[in-house]
Amino acid sequence: MVIGYTTGVFDLFHIGHLNMLKNAKAMCDKLIVGVTTDDLVSYKNKKSVIPFEERIEIVRSIKYVDAAIAQENMDKIEAWKRLRFDIMFVGDDWYNTEKWNNFNKQFEEMGVRIIYFPYTKGTSSTLINETLNNLRNV
């Protein structure tokens, strides 16, 4: 059984989120999704619009997701030690960054592949938030 893992805030759920989960599930037998807690969202100096309990329930209800869990820290190696996934799915906006190059090396030694999915151009929670803010200020 191939276990896949990905994480995200999944705030203002949109087609980019759905496509990522759908494509990830197509590459594994079991897909585990870490949903970032409200406290951890602050690492981006942001605040989620949708509360954690609602975001995790949305993700848990998607047919491509076998399990949704709280992501309480950014340590992907710790997550692997708990979950023993075979593939980690990540947006390609992280590709070739120092942080993920280091993860690549560590995961390679553990036999874990990292798959980078294309970032959805034109749709993002950040863009949706900016658009809503602009509409409110008109």
Q: Is the pLDDT of residue 68 over 80?
A: yes
Query: Tell me, what's the pLDDT at 45?
Result: 73
Residues noted as catalytic: 44, 46
Mean pLDDT (whole number) for 102-112: 93
Question: Cα(114)–Cα(104) distance, rounded to whole angstroms?
Answer: 7
Query: Tell me, what's the pLDDT at 91?
Result: 87
Domains, the chain, with CATH or none: 3-136 (3.40.50.620)
Q: Is the pLDDT of residue 63 over 80?
A: yes
Q: Which amino acid is at 109?
A: E
Mean pLDDT (whole number) for 76-86: 96
Q: Which amino acid is at 104?
A: N
Query: Tell me, what's the pLDDT at 48?
Result: 86
> 118 pLDDT band (50/70/90 cuts)?
confident
CA atoms within a 13 Å half-sphere pointing along the CA-CB vector of 132: 8
Question: Cα(31)–Cα(45) distance, rounded to whole angstroms?
Answer: 28
Per-residue model confidence as pLDDT tens digits over 20-48: 999 999 999 999 999 999 999 886 677 88
